């Protein structure tokens, strides 16, 4: 193991920078985690190096190329220092773990959420922070169970940890912050920093699961809450601390769930606070006073407003709930006007006060409106699903007013259901036959049930969400099997095609150089080519490809006349083995036995004649070399070369974008006739530089080379679809819109 990333390094620097002794149960975890993270980080740096080299290779200008090469050099020079800094920081987390629920942490989050701080953040810092937040949020959702178990066990082990202030040195936010701190020493620009963060996410953060599981296993072996179980929902954890646990270290199941949910909701809560503060800033700039301070206004909000909205019909005016809801175009409802009309119906109070919305409820209504504006303008959503989701504007408004955690909690049932519907429908195309598609029927039925059955109880969304996830799981199992067969079939077909092309090109090249008799050419092109084809396909297992090529070279050499005695002696030694290899190979590919005997007899005759007749020397000499083409003066290019150079430069940036597409990403192709279809990248077959795309059912739709895809993207005929959670993307868009309005 590399010393810089392994346990040896830790033993030399075990207590560096810390006066706090690490609990005995944690020492082994610390050594294992820092060693594992060091190895993963090496993979991330190797990938960064490859990415920068590829970008430099495809750069459009010398300045751009130099920028990438300089970044490569900077990272290579300081890489070991960054790795050491990161390992020291991670080891320090175990010696002095931050308390997740501390007041300081809450104040830090609050300060980050302020609108004033947003205006001070530079664009580059904001981009980096967004990437970091997305990385942390994704990992905390993905590893929610192991993280909760580990936090509960660490909180028992570390003295001073409490239920309201748990500790977890392996929390993704701590590890990511340690990495960001470590790369501060790199003098690189924001684009290269984002590449670093992306590869850190791909190689380190995405592989935290195995280290979390190992840490839990070590603590279980040490007797720390060995019976703890996590079932993925609040209130369903079961844990019993070890008999030797420190007093006050016991954490109840409900407390564990609330801690996990609060940690997961930090990012969403901070974003929701940012939005509210920016809306409040807009009101203040417009000179609108707080409602509560106006003596002529009766503020309606909370339960009173929720009760008032209960009388509002679920569906849009003129909409037939039982019919085809995806017919026509999506319609945007003016939710603010709808609520104002309801307030107007209540009339003024006995003391003459006019009804008005509370600021928080008005913010929520505005936010729901902005959310659906984004949804109805989101190109990534397929049209049928977009229309269906647009029918849910009023039900979602009722949900948000009654339960204000919709925007601040990623696990909210209604939010999860909307995200699931959008994610499942991303592969839809306009040409799909909706009436015969089970997925469409399921989404349509869910929307109809919400419009007909929702009475304010959010449990309906949870029930529908669970049913839909089960349906998707069944459908995904089927499509995954089909997709796997498609991948295997395409890999086999393309590899066979590549093998045939290689064999044909090699034989064509060799046969073009020599004047060989027809029987010899026949045995090579119609017989031995099959042996070479199979050897190429099996070369990774049997390693026979070079042997089959050597047979061709030996045969051609033996058919040339040889005057030298030493060469003639070698000829006598080579021919018997050559004939044996030829016959064995042809028999292995089941070559026609009667023709085989005839071909071998002809070949022996040709070999004998070549050995006997020196007069054949002139006839068997290599064909004359072709006349050399007229050389182009140095510094001048042909028209074809100039055109190719222009083409390569034009698509260079698009090639980099194509390489950024990952397996499982969805794209949309637009045809010349105006039609379009959506498909998913299923496989990249490097041997043929081929990208294979499949539809929702796992069936192959199209295959194209990297260059072809770059040209399609350049012409605007290929669009990579965003696949993040719908509500998260909508909130990001809302924040961006409000920031731009605020200047």
pLDDT given at position 244: 38
Band of residue 635 on the pLDDT scale cut at 50, 70, 90: low
Residue 357 β-bridge partners: 300
- Say what the pLDDT of residue 332 is: 82
Residue 44 three-state SS = helix
Q: How does residue 463 score in pLDDT terms, banded at 50, 70 and 90?
A: very high
What average pLDDT does the segment 274-291 reach? 72
Confidence of residue 182 (pLDDT cuts 50, 70, 90): very high
For the purposes of burial, counting CB atoms within 10 Å of the CB of 351, is it exposed (0-12), middle (13-18) or buried (19 or more)? exposed
pLDDT given at position 327? 60
Q: Is the per-residue pLDDT at 224 higher than 70?
A: yes
The whole-number pLDDT of residue 365 equals 87
Query: Domain 640-724: which CATH class?
Result: mainly beta
Average pLDDT of span 544-551? 89
Among 444, 477, 448, 470, smallest CA distance to 460 is for 448
Please give the average per-residue pLDDT across 198-212, as a whole number.
89
Comparing 678 with 229, the larger pLDDT belongs to 678
- Residue 684 β-bridge partners: 691
Distance CA 329, CA 552 (A): 67
In this prediction, residue 488 carries a pLDDT of 85
Which H helix or E strand runs over 692?
A: strand 690-694
Tell whether the torsion through CA atoms of 275, 277, 283 and 285 is positive or negative. negative
pLDDT digits (tens, 9 = 90+) for 395-440: 998 888 888 788 878 888 998 999 888 888 787 665 555 555 788 8
Of the candidates 610, 506, 620, the residue with the CA atom closest to the CA atom of residue 552: 506
Instruction: Using the predicted structure, report yes or no on whether residue 2 has a pLDDT greater than 60.
Output: no
Give whichever of 267-271, 430-434, 548-552 has the largest mean pLDDT.
Answer: 548-552
- Angle between helix axes 123-142 and 253-264 (nearest 10 degrees) is 150
**Rounded average pLDDT over 107-112:** 39
Question: How many whole angstroms from its chain centre is CA 489?
Answer: 24
Quote the distance between the C-alpha of residue 617 and its chain's center.
Answer: 64
Q: What is the value of pTM for the model shown?
A: 0.53
Rg (CA), the chain: 34
Structure letter (DSSP) for residue 240: -
Q: Please tell me which residue, 42 or 242, carries the higher pLDDT value.
A: 42
Q: What is the DSSP string of 384-441?
A: HHHHHHHTTHHHHHHHHHH-GGGTT-TT-HHHHHHHHHHHHGGG--TT--GGG-HHHH
Instruction: Give 358's strand partners.
Output: none
Percent of the chain with pLDDT over 90: 11
Residue 606 CA, chain-centre distance (Å), reads 61
In tens, the pLDDT along 558-570 reads 887 777 778 888 8
Mean pLDDT confidence for 62-71: 86
Average pLDDT for the chain: 77
3-state helix, strand, coil in the chain (%, to 5): 65, 5, 30
- The secondary structure of residue 680, as a DSSP letter, is E
Length of the chain: 743
| Confidence (pLDDT) at 123 | 60
What Cα–Cα distance (Å) separates residue 350 from each residue in 296, 353, 372, 450?
A: 12, 7, 37, 37
Q: Are 693 and 721 in contact (CB under 8 A)?
A: no
pLDDT at site 293: 59
- Structure tokens of 142? 């993905």
Cβ 55 vs Cβ 82: under 8 Å: no
HEC sequence for 31-100: HHHHHHHHHHHHHHHHHHHHHHHHHHHCCCCHHHHHHHHHHHHHHHHHHHHHHHHHHHHHHHHHHCCCEC
pLDDT digits (tens, 9 = 90+) for 12-34: 444 444 446 777 778 888 888 99
Interval 640-683: pLDDT, tens: 667 667 777 778 888 888 988 888 889 999 888 878 888 999 98
pLDDT one-digit tens code per residue, 311-370: 777 665 555 554 556 566 677 888 888 888 888 887 776 677 788 887 888 888 888 888
């Amino acid at each position: 193991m590399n010393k810089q990333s392994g346990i040896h390094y830790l033993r030399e620097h075990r207590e560096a920078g810390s006066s706090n002794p690490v609990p005995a149960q944690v020492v082994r975890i610390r050594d294992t985690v820092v060693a594992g993270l060091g190895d993963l980080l090496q993979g991330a740096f190797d990938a960064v190096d490859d990415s920068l080299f590829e970008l430099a290779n495809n750069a459009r200008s010398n300045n751009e190329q130099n920028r990438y090469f300089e970044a490569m050099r900077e990272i290579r020079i300081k890489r070991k220092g960054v790795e050491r800094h990161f390992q020291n920081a991670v080891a320090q987390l175990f010696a002095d773990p931050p308390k997740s629920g501390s007041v300081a942490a809450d104040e830090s989050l609050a300060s980050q959420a302020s609108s004033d701080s947003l205006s001070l953040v530079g664009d580059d810092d904001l981009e980096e922070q967004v990437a970091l937040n997305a990385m942390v949020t994704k990992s905390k959702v993905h590893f929610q169970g192991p993280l909760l178990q580990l936090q509960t066990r660490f909180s028992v082990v570390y003295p001073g940890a409490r239920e309201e202030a748990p500790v977890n040195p392996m929390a993704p936010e701590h590890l990511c912050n340690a990495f960001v701190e470590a790369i501060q020493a790199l003098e690189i620009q924001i684009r290269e920093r984002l590449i670093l963060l992306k590869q850190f996410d791909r190689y380190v953060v995405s592989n935290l699961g195995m280290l979390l599981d190992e840490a839990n296993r070590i603590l279980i072996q040490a007797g720390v809450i060995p019976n703890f179980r996590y079932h993925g929902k609040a209130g369903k954890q079961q844990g019993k601390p070890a008999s030797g646990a420190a007093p006050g270290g016991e954490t109840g199941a409900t407390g564990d769930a609330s801690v996990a949910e609060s940690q997961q909701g930090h990012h969403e809560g901070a974003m929701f606070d940012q939005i509210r503060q920016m809306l409040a800033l807009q009101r203040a700039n417009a000179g609108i006073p707080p409602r509560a301070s106006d003596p002529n206004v009766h503020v309606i909000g909370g339960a009173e407003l929720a009760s008032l909205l209960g009388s509002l019909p679920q569906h849009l005016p003129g909409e037939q709930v039982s019919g085809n809801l995806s017919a026509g175009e999506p319609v945007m409802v003016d939710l603010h006007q709808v609520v104002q009309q309801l307030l107007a119906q209540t009339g003024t109070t006995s003391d003459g006060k006019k009804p008005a919305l509370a600021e928080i409820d008005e913010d929520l209504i505005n936010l729901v409106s902005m959310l659906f504006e984004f949804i109805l303008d989101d190109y990534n959503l397929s049209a049928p699903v977009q229309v269906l989701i647009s029918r849910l504007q009023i039900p979602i408004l009722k949900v948000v007013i009654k339960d204000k955690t919709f925007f601040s909690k990623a696990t909210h049932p209604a939010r999860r259901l909307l995200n699931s519907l959008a994610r499942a429908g991303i592969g839809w195309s306009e040409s799909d036959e909706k009436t015969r598609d089970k997925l469409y029927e399921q989404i349509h039925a869910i929307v109809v049930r919400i419009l007909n059955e929702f009475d304010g109880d959010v449990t309906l969304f949870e029930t529908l969400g669970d049913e839909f996830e089960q349906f998707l799981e069944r459908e995904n199992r089927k499509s995954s099997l089909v997709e796997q067969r498609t991948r295997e079939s395409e890999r086999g077909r393309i590899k066979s095609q590549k093998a045939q092309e290689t064999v044909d090109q090699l034989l064509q090249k060799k046969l073009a150089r020599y004047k060989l008799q027809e029987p010899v050419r026949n045995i090579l092109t119609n017989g031995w080519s099959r042996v070479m084809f199979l050897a190429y396909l099996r070369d990774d297992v049997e390693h026979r490809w070079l042997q089959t090529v050597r047979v061709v070279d030996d045969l051609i050499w033996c058919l040339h006349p040889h005057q030298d005695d030493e060469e003639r002696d070698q000829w006598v030694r080579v021919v018997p083995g050559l004939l044996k290899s030829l016959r064995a190979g042809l028999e292995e590919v089941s070559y026609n036995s009667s023709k085989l005997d005839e071909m071998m007899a002809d070949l022996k005759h040709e070999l004998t004649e070549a050995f006997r007749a020196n007069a054949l020397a002139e006839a068997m000499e290599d064909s004359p070399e072709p006349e050399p083409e007229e050389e182009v003066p140095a510094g001048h290019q042909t028209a074809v070369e100039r055109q190719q150079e222009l083409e390569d430069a034009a698509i260079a940036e698009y090639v980099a974008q194509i390489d950024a597409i990952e397996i499982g990403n969805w794209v949309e192709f637009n045809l010349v006739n105006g039609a379009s279809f959506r498909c998913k990248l299923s496989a990249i077959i490097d041997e043929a530089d081929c990208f294979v795309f499949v539809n929702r059912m796992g069936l192959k739709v199209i295959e194209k080379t990297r260059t072809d895809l770059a040209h399609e993207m350049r012409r605007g005929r290929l669009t990579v679809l965003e696949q993040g959670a719908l509500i998260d993307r909508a909130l990001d868009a809302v924040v961006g819109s409000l920031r731009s309005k605020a200047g």
